[in-house]
Amino acid sequence: MNDDFIDIIPFSNKNKCMLEVPGSKSISNRALILAVLNDGVVKLNGILHSEDVDIMLDALKLLGVKIEIERENKSVVVYGCKGVLPVKKATINVGNAGTVARFLTALLALQEGGEYSLDGSLPMRVRPMGGLLNVLESHGAKLEFKGEKNCFPFTIKTNALSNEDWEIDASASSQILSAILLISPLIPGEIRLNLIGETVSRPFVQMTVEMIHQFTENGSQKITQNGNKFLIPDLNLNIESGNYAIEPDATAASYFISLPLSVGGEIVVQNLQNCNLQGDIGFCEVVKNIGFRISRSEFGIESRLDTIAGGGDFDFNDISDTFLTLAALSPLLQSPLRISGIAHTRKQETDRVSAMANELRKLGQNVEEGHDFLSIQPSLNKLSSVSPVFINTYDDHRFAMCFAILGSHDLFKNGKSWMRIQDPNCCAKTFPKFFQVLSHLQSNCI
């Protein structure tokens, strides 16, 4: 694979092909924070080894947390320190990792007498942090901004956090709410948390709550929720088995679950059948509605296309990381597609709504873009007039992966590449071996 681009080789699937996806990034980085907060040694099995998780691991080690990494076994051993970081002064770069930016900042705010300088990539400097920083500041943290207020870079001076009632605006990102929930068991006393307005991607909040329960002693009280109000009891984080299994990444699985639309046949994503923490498993219901047959077996989730695939009208607010998967494949649909609930994705790795509209128009598609939606009139015939097409990935891993699935379609029935993906190494953020897995399928499914 060229570092600058990769030409996607199309193929047709004649077999039932099986593959594995790596561990969930969302679960991996939550589990790392919870393991640090734990009282004792925790082994995280099936952890994702990728750019985002490595940034979290490097930061935690820099902060004095003892961590043993076993890459071949896909595991990490964390020596929990009950959230008390040995290093009280450090400079940390969070890259473009949103989970690190929010979760780590909240963890730092727990410290007594700490001073930490944080920065991120250029895209990270414009990603939403205000809802988190404002509430940390109102509960004891002091912030000094080097540039624009509520944006990286900044210095945070910490003196623990008060347990006064929390009013949180997480309208820009559910990670803001999850960050406070993760650290709440280490704030003394009972915590009352009120979400102001709404948040996006609510299943990620439920993931956070459930994972806190999994890392808590058996028989402990539970976090309770009534609408937008959360009550967090005084919890003792101590995972009694000392082991925690991380689910395969449901978002990464969405690319391969949808692959039959592009190449035909049947795909089995292994070990995904019992995943229950990740809201993005809901992508299966979306593709069922456009004509897929999705089933669970002892091997995993099995996907095939049972009929001609149509479009539809879908709200992706809860599973917005997967909207790109369906949008990129829209040229292969037989009727219009409308995707809504995606306004917040304009402030992720890139403006995902406009970027997707741009790339689909390169493919000759008729696209209407609104603040919170995309409407696409598919036309496969127009693809022939724009071949070969160069896909810009915007330093966004999900663009590289979702368009690679479209490029796997044998458009001209000659097995020759008609799509070039720019900057394929951006996949290192969450799925470093994505193109190797796709190449393996191309070699073994013929």
* Mean pLDDT computed over 274-281: 95
Phi, psi for residue 268 in degrees, rounded to 5? -115, 115
Q: Is residue 240 part of a domain?
A: no
- 288 with 171, same domain? no
Q: Which residue among 200, 233, 266 closes a domain? A: 233
DSSP 3-state assignment of 153? coil
- Residue 116 reports pLDDT greater than 60: yes
Q: Where are the beta strands (DSSP E) in 331-393?
A: 337-340, 366-369, 373-377, 389-391
- 174 with 157, same domain? yes
What is the secondary structure of 396-435 as a DSSP string? Answer: -HHHHHHHHHHHTS-TTSS----EEEE-GGGGGGT-TTHH
Q: Is residue 430 part of a domain?
A: yes
* Mean pLDDT computed over 437-445: 91
Q: Which residue among 205, 233, 261 closes a domain? A: 233
- 221 with 253, same domain? no
* Mean pLDDT computed over 421-443: 96
| Confidence at residue 263, expressed as pLDDT on a 0 to 100 scale | 96
- 11 with 59, same domain? no
* Mean pLDDT computed over 399-409: 97
Q: Are 376 and 350 in contact (CB under 8 A)?
A: no
Of 363 and 387, the structure prediction assigns the larger pLDDT to 363
Q: Are 150 and 322 in contact (CB under 8 A)?
A: no
- 92 with 220, same domain? yes
pLDDT digits (tens, 9 = 90+) for 343-364: 999 999 999 999 999 999 999 8
pLDDT digits (tens, 9 = 90+) for 286-297: 999 999 999 999
Longest dimension (CA), the chain: 67
Using the 8-state DSSP alphabet, how is residue 216 labeled? B
Confidence band (pLDDT; 50, 70, 90) for 241?
confident
- 207 with 156, same domain? yes
**How far, CA to CA in Å, does 142 sit from each of 109, 113, 135, 187, 242?**
9, 11, 11, 17, 35
* Mean pLDDT computed over 169-182: 96
* Mean pLDDT computed over 159-179: 94
Q: How many CB atoms lie within 10 A of CB 307?
A: 10
- Write out the catalytic residue numbers: 321
Q: Is residue 238 part of a domain?
A: no
Q: Is residue 239 part of a domain?
A: no
- Residue 419 reports pLDDT greater than 60: yes
Q: Are 200 and 174 in contact (CB under 8 A)?
A: yes
Q: Is residue 108 part of a domain?
A: yes
The count of structural domains within the chain is 2
**Domain range holding 172?**
25-233
pLDDT digits (tens, 9 = 90+) for 46-65: 999 999 999 999 999 999 99
This model's pTM is above 0.85: yes
| Confidence at residue 400, expressed as pLDDT on a 0 to 100 scale | 98
Q: Is residue 85 part of a domain?
A: yes
- 31 with 13, same domain? no
| Confidence at residue 14, expressed as pLDDT on a 0 to 100 scale | 84
* High-pLDDT (> 90) share of the chain, %: 90
Q: Is residue 242 part of a domain?
A: no
Q: Which residue among 203, 233, 263 closes a domain? A: 233
Query: Please, what is the angle between helix 434-444 and helix 397-407, to 10°?
Result: 10
Confidence band (pLDDT; 50, 70, 90) for 385?
low
Q: Is residue 58 part of a domain?
A: yes
- 298 with 183, same domain? no
- 94 with 223, same domain? yes
d(CA 54, CA 51): 5
* Mean pLDDT computed over 397-424: 95
- Residue 368 reports pLDDT greater than 60: yes
Q: Report the b/e string of 396-406 with b at 16+ CB within 10 A.
A: bbbbbbbbbbb
CATH number, domain with residue 418: 3.65.10.10
- Residue 2 reports pLDDT greater than 80: no
- 347 with 253, same domain? yes
Indicate the length of the chain as a whole number.
Answer: 446
- 311 with 213, same domain? no
- Residue 240 reports pLDDT greater than 90: no
What is the side-by-side order of every strand in the sheet holding 389-391? 5-8, 419-422, 389-391
* Mean pLDDT computed over 196-209: 94
- 344 with 326, same domain? yes
| Confidence at residue 386, expressed as pLDDT on a 0 to 100 scale | 63
Two tokens, residue 98: 């949103």
- Residue 262 reports pLDDT greater than 70: yes
- Residue 446 reports pLDDT greater than 70: no
- Mean pLDDT value across the chain: 95
